[in-house]
A and B are shown apart, each in its own frame.
Chain A
Amino acid sequence: MERRRLGVVTDGTFEAGLTVRLDPGCSTEDLRIGSFVVVEGRSHRFFCTIADMRLQVTDAGLLADPPRDASPFVRRTLEGISSYATVQVKPHLMLDISKGVGEETPVEPVRTIPMHFAELYEASGVDFATVFGEERGAYFAMGTPITMELPICLRLDRFVERSNGVFGQTGTGKSFLARLLLAGIIKSKAAVNLVFDMHNEYAFGAQKEDGGWVKGLRDLFGPQVLVYSLDEAWGARRNVDVTLKVGLNQIELGDVLLLAEELELSPTAVTTAELIYARFGSDWMKRLVALDSGDSEALKGFCDLTGAQSESLKALQRRVKRVAGRDYVREEVAFSAIDEMVAALDKGRHVVLVFGRHDTPLDYMLVANIVARRVRRLYQEKVNRYERTRDEADRPQPLLITLEEAHKFLSPQVSRQTIFGTIARELRKFYVTLMVIDQRPSGIDPEVMSQLGTRVTGKLTDQRDIDSVFTGVGGRSFLRGALESLNTRQEILILGHAVPMPIILRTRQYDEGFYEAIRGRGEKGRDIGEDIADLYGD
């Protein structure tokens, strides 16, 4: 293995990590925080990341009088000997090499540390492959290490086992990351997807910043991906499968409470809503909207019935009417559309719900909440039945719900009110997990954050956002610097359940090459025709 040696271990604890003294020829500038490095112990190979760097001198005299005017000869001589650098490395995984390394030797969590003078090396392609595996099946390449052209994989099967987060400040390409992940999941059939596509990015092609076009999931996977639209007119011009309507009967109290901020509901309005709901149950919206508040008689009667204050009632009604007045809102809509959606999901198809022109936060939050609630309810029933029958045919398809602007649904204030908060907290009890996409992870309830299995993040600079990315992840604070150091466009940090150890990658390009790879060979060389036959029978 031609690996460049970087230095030797001189100190360390299991808790805090190892101190490595860099060899004279090795400069701190050759390394970067968060890079993947390997320590060769006597009987174990340790896979580590660089957590910190420090400059040292052997004699404090040098600090007081550094060789400013010295010749290159003198400086070269001092470098690495009188002045030297140490790096702190944190081992994550280890491999027992005492009896030779075979294909089957498992990579284990780190349980010990190497002795003094163990050597530190740059990770080689073989090391990456040992830890991250090779591309196949559920091992999906997310990118390459900064210094190498080697695909590094994330395990999609483990990815969908938990809820996840895709983070990064604006402009870091979160939607590209989401597309990659979704495409990978679809291709590997790790789960079925329900994407709440707020900005119409995922279903069909979208325009890049530089004017080029990228393909949508429908373009890549054809009829395997169902496109639902909220906007009829918008959908008519495109190849949309179903236009979704929302009925007042479908709007629950919680939906309105979720929208409290958007609708600018005062606390009294909230109380009023509660009163109305208490009185009328699922009919409450219809009744509220139908009320002619100009008719003082009716108004008074309404108030008497519910115990609401007339002024608050009027105010509430005004606001609620904003919702009711949406294009896609009807008085009464059956749940069948959503139920059919779930049936399709069950058969292995994926659904992207595009919002068309209805891309305000209000629309997004209302519809996503309603749909997700229904979906989750159905899933709960399925799971209960599966538990009763134990029949494989009854086992539900694992579902991944993709949610943008997640902080609106999962802030500490509202996370208990939304179905998403519930989904996040219950792990995968009902076979549903979330992929939350957000540029302000600090806006998300820390309790929810701590439940996220995998975090894929681009550059973040706000300290609170950085802190929140590491919520619930033990001992990773040393990667904070790594997060800040990421390149805006190209670089991501992945940590958590779906990767054996935290890794910095240059993101895979979502381009022709990717399309080829995705479209090309299915696992068993299936083509689209076969998939359709599978789905719909003959």
Chain B
Amino acid sequence: MPLKLGFISEGLEEMARALKGVKGQEIERARFLLKETDPANLRAKIEEAKTSWLLAWPENTLSRAYPAPEPPLNFSVAATDGSYIRPDRHIPARFVAINIGSALFTYGHDPMAHLDSKSHFYFREEELRIPHPFKDLYLEGEFLGARRTVLELEALVEVAIRGIRPAVGLQDGSLILWGLPTTDEPDDISVRDHFLRPFLGALQKLRVQGIPVASYLSQPQSKDVVNSLRVEICDNEPVDCDRCSYIAQRERPICSDLAGVLDRQIFDSLELGERSDLFRSSSKILRVGYGEYWIYFFYLNVGGEIARLEFPQWVALDEEKLNLLHALVYDQCQRGRGYPSALQEAHEQAVITGPERRVVESLVEEALAKEGVAFFRSGKATSKRERGV
């Protein structure tokens, strides 16, 4: 182990202390603002604002907290998660293997659990390409992530439908497909649609089934609520980062103090099981692609942390569904020692272990060899594999 951890740990302590110190004041300020800011005013300001960062639209209040409702006696929770293998650079073939894990837990007088996984293997040209009139777009990077998310959601539908009602469906991460192109160009639109159509279709199915769906973000790094508070602070009228008066005067913008604060830091006053009020995300992809499936969110004290739950509009505006979601997510986190157990198990089902990855690779090698396609690993590739002494 050539990396010497000793000196890192020293630095870590100092780093943490520094963070606490400096950030402490800003966090305090932000908390204060959360409590004192008038939501209606803020909404008006946000309406006119043009910022370079993402803003959260307060649906009701900013700081109201809602305690967790009691979960029903009998209910089910479905969750899916995915992971993928991309080919080794050194292997001539191009393929993608995506493994979607699913979990369906039933609680009440007939407790049950179903765990499963389903694998998708893409190797055909048409599977690996994203249809585009003139660009060569491949299933990699953001697009691969998006494909995974779509497959997770579709799997969620299949699984959640089988559960007893009431039921909720959970995803890991975000329901906002950040990586998709947001322009109005037709080719962008078609790429976008390629993913959004099945995605929204799945959301619709869940809506029809009356199964609230949400994605769960652990340790969220999001700042969109804090960003809205920065708008509150800003004394430019209208708020326009491109025309920031401070920057023009070569001064630090007044809002920059809050720049490092995370949303979860200001919502840490939530009691155990409480959720924050509703916020609406203002991500561009939502505007151009989601329509009535706009994504809302709240923060929730799950016990070990403040987590962020994202869900479509039809859930947000339906008090019964919202409460059910709140109740069951919190219940899951209690069972799961701070993380929804169904998601945990779905994740376990999805995980592709190192050995499994190597099995896939050797199967690929075998298949290629059968067809007479040989390949040689580069020296680097081999040395990376065998970690002998």
Direct touch of chains A and B (CB < 8 A): no
Residues of B whose CB lies within 8 Å of any CB of A are none
Residues of A whose CB lies within 8 Å of any CB of B are none
